[in-house]
Amino acid sequence: MVARFRTKRQSRIWRKKIKYSCRKKLADSRPRIKGRFVKRLPGEEPQTVARAEAKLAEMARQKEAAKAAEAAASAAAKDKGVAAPTTAAAGVISA
């Protein structure tokens, strides 16, 4: 019984085998950052991981700047005793 297990274990193939080439082709075409898949940016397809990282960092900076500007506007409005303008009221749509 143990001998049969050992002979079967010796004949096992431990290397990676790609079963579906179409899945590999799709995975290779998707952009990655540090090995993980990332969403494609609207209107643009990143050609390199570095470009995708830079674009994502830029989007994060813009979002933080918008939050800071909104906080400053609400603080200024609070000092004046006026209701603070919101981004929805200003007609700005954020993604």
Average pLDDT across each block of 10 residues of the chain; the chain has 95 residues. List them in order: 90 87 90 81 64 83 92 83 59 54
Q: Is residue 41, in this structure, part of any structural domain at all?
A: yes
Domain that holds residue 61: 19-69
Q: Which secondary structure element, helix H or strand E, spans residue 36, and what is its range?
A: strand 36-37
Say what the pTM is: 0.36
Q: Is residue 83, in this structure, part of any structural domain at all?
A: no
- Total number of domains constituting the chain: 1
Q: Is residue 49, in this structure, part of any structural domain at all?
A: yes
Q: Is residue 50, in this structure, part of any structural domain at all?
A: yes
